[in-house]
């Protein structure tokens, strides 16, 4: 008889492994199946986020930021660095070690929470007796059975039509984190989150970086006052960003890559680079899952169709994270995973999409939550806005990083915070207070009346709240 589980989670990324742990905490007998292999063929739990996404990119962003600081900014502090050099192999090795710590951490968490882990590929076989048979193909092949299935199979990088990733010259987020020597010229297609983060890493390490973006607007989903400020800062740092381009033929040769494109002025151009990162979005991953075997519904883009509670068209089959609708963010996947485990247990798990924070880990960082000014205008929602620049913040001056601002938007009548948008130092951390405020439906006055430590960057958030009522104290 096949092994029986209450819950089988397919995929061990942030959506899957967190769902497995939460389900186990709630008393279920849980299995998690994940096929990711490390360079030695062993398991590598954590999915895209841990292996080729959030974690390694943050390691490389930190290393490259240190190099940039030592190269250009230490001198402002009276620190002179002579004979500065770069050991890329060591930097990449450190990044790999950080990834491994995270892989191992999840193995430990599975043991601690008694989650049964299969290093294998999972696929649907059949629905039988109120449960689902799942084929587990790893070093051995077996079929296991689960009452509830949570699909958390993530997403893959989208390639340009006719230009597959070779991860040598034409790179996805994976290859972009493994370039063995700093390219002299690096091209990036798509000025989204990955393009900006990876472009920043290799620019700081010395590459000449050109980003080609199809849309005429820079960071169209971001509050445009914040996006403009970020664009100004990136351009000053030396990132070349061309908007409104139409990418044509891409030739991948021995010496590098040539990209033909038409610029916003309708002029034919060619960009010659050593390496090209293509970061034009991601597509849901259901490769090998065999959804047809049970009739699991996919939409026209290949994503699993779910309702607001992550229920699929099949009873007791759930799906979370990048493989379903909504932002492709690790923390959204985690929260959906927790909510699904709680729903299986008869509880009322809930994810508030309006308070999912967004962060772009460039320098300056960009972070936001809730609605931006353009969205409020389009919706005809009457609002008040307050901004406060880091230039007027004592901690930012001491840090030597005064780029950017905090912008708060509040309802004109009730003063409820509708959105907060930050570009500046440690925006990724500052946004947490704003997410909490919005989750508790705080008003801008609430933030303005809360005591914030001095000197701290968080005072800029308090001042932005004061600015909503036009009563900043330090500007
Ligand atoms: P994205 O959706 O953020 O950006 C893609 C960009 O490419 C857009 O600006 C789009 O207009 C442009 N584009 C699309 N097709 C194009 C074409 N043919 N020519 C020129 N430009 C084109 O996607 P990205 O950067 O690939 O990231 C994928 C996902 O990973 C995103 O959903 C993102 O949220 C997630 N991610 C999140 C991170 C974070 O939270 N810090 C870090 C990295 C990725």
Q: From residue 77, give the alpha-carbon distance in Å to each of 16, 65, 400, 454.
A: 45, 16, 9, 22
Q: What is the pLDDT of residue 2?
A: 87
Which atom of ligand 1 is nearest the CA belonging to 54? Answer: 42
Do residues 21 and 28 lie in contact, with contact meaning Cβ atoms separated by under 8 Å?
no
Nearest-CA residue for ligand 1 atom 34 is 328
Distance 450 CA to ligand 1 centre (A): 36
Q: How far is the CA of 236 from the centre of ligand 1 (A)?
A: 22
Could you give the CA distance from residue 177 to residue 198 in angstroms, rounded to a whole number?
8
pLDDT at position 1 is 72
Whether 55 lines ligand 1, by a CB cut-off of 6 Å, is no
Ligand 1 neighbourhood includes 194 CB (under 6 angstroms): yes
Tokens of 195: 């393009």
Q: Which atom of ligand 1 is nearest to the CA of 160?
A: 18
φ, ψ of residue 385 to 5 degrees: the values are: -125, 140
Separation between Cα atoms, residue 333 and residue 336, nearest integer Å: 5
Helix (H) or strand (E) holding 137: strand 131-137
What the block records as the tokens of 164 is 């597959």
- What does the pLDDT read at residue 332? 98
pTM of whole model > 0.85? yes
The finding on whether 191 has its CB within 6 A of some atom of ligand 1 is: yes
Centre of ligand 1 from the C-alpha of residue 284, in Å: 14
Q: Is the CB of 20 under 6 A from ligand 1?
A: no
CA-proximal residue: ligand 1, atom 23 (nearest): 281
Question: Which are the contacts of 187, defined by CB distance < 8 A and separation ≥ 6?
Answer: 209, 210, 211, 212, 257, 259, 271, 273, 275, 276, 277
Which residue has the least CA distance to atom 32 on ligand 1?
328
Closest CA to 200 of 189, 213, 211: 211
State if residue 431 touches ligand 1 by the CB under 6 angstroms criterion: no
282 lines ligand 1 (CB under 6 A): yes
Contact 362, 194 (CB under 8 A): no
Dig out the tokens for 208 from the structure: 């000449």
Determine the 3-state secondary structure of 118 from DSSP: strand
Q: Please name each of the domains of the chain with its CATH number.
A: 3-157+283-351 (3.50.50.60), 170-280 (3.50.50.60), 355-468 (3.30.390.30)
The CA distance from 15 to 337, in Å, is 5
Q: Give the pLDDT of the chain (475 residues) as one tens digit per residue.
A: 789 999 999 999 999 999 999 999 999 999 999 999 999 999 999 999 999 999 999 999 999 999 999 999 999 999 999 999 999 999 999 999 999 999 999 999 999 999 999 999 999 999 998 999 999 999 999 999 999 999 999 999 999 999 999 999 999 999 999 999 999 999 999 999 999 999 999 999 999 999 999 999 999 999 999 999 999 999 999 999 999 999 999 999 988 999 999 999 999 999 999 999 999 999 999 999 999 999 999 999 999 999 999 999 999 999 999 999 999 999 999 999 999 999 999 999 999 999 999 999 999 999 999 999 999 999 999 999 999 999 999 999 999 999 999 999 999 999 999 999 999 999 999 999 999 999 999 999 999 999 999 999 999 999 999 999 999 999 9
Closest CA to ligand 1's atom 17: 214
**Ligand 1 atom nearest 194 alpha carbon:** 25
What is the residue with the minimal CA distance to atom 14 of ligand 1?
A: 280
Structure tokens at 233: 């800062």
Positions annotated as catalytic residues are 454
């Amino acid at each position: 008889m096949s092994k029986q589980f209450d819950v089988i989670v397919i995929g061990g990324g942030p959506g899957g492994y967190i769902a497995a742990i939460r389900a186990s905490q709630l008393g279920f007998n849980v299995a998690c199946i994940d096929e990711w292999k490390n360079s030695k063929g062993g398991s590598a739990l954590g999915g895209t986020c841990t292996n080729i996404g959030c974690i390694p990119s943050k390691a490389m962003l930190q290393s490259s930021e240190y190099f940039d600081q030592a190269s250009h900014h230490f001198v402002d502090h009276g620190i002179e660095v002579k004979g500065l050099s770069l050991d890329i192999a060591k930097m990449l090795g450190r990044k790999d070690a950080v990834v491994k710590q995270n892989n191992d951490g999840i193995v430990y968490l599975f043991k601690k929470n008694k989650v049964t882990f299969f290093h294998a590929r999972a696929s649907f076989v059949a629905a039988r007796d109120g449960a689902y048979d799942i084929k587990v193909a790893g070093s051995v092949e077996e079929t296991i059975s689960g009452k509830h299935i949570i699909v958390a199979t993530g997403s893959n990088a989208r390639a340009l039509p006719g230009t597959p990733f070779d991860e040598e010259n034409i790179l996805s987020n994976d290859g972009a984190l493994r370039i063995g020597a700093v390219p002299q010229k690096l091209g990036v297609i798509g000025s989204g989150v990955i393009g900006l983060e990876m472009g920043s890493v290799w620019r700081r390490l010395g590459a000449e970086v050109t980003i080609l973006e199809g849309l005429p607007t820079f960071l169209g989903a971001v509050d445009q006052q914040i996006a403009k400020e970020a664009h100004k800062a990136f351009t000053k740092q030396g990132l070349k960003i061309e908007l409104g381009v139409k990418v044509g033929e891409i030739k991948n040769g021995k010496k590098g890559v040539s990209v033909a494109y038409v610029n916003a002025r309708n002029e034919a151009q060619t960009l010659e680079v050593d390496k090209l990162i293509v970061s034009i979005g991601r597509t849901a991953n259901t490769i090998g899952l065999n959804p047809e075997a049970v009739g699991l519904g996919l939409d026209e883009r290949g994503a699993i169709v779910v309702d607001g509670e992550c229920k699929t068209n099949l009873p007791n089959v759930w799906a979370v994270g990048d493989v379903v609708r909504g932002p492709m963010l690790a923390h959204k996947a985690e929260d959906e995973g927790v909510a699904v485990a709680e729903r299986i247990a008869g509880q009322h798990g809930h994810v508030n999409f309006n308070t999912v924070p967004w962060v772009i880990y460039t320098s300056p960082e960009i972070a936001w939550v809730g609605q931006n000014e353009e969205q409020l205008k389009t919706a005809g929602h009457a609002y008040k806005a307050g901004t406060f620049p880091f230039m007027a913040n004592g901690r930012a001056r001491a840090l030597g990083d005064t780029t950017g601002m905090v912008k708060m938007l509040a309802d004109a009548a009730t003063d409820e915070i509708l959105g907060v948008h930050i570009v500046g130092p440690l925006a990724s951390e500052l946004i947490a207070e704003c997410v909490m405020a919005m989750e508790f439906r705080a008003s801008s006055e609430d933030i303005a009346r809360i005591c914030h430590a001095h000197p701290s960057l968080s005072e800029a958030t308090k001042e932005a709240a004061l600015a909503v009522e036009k009563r900043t104290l330090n500007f």
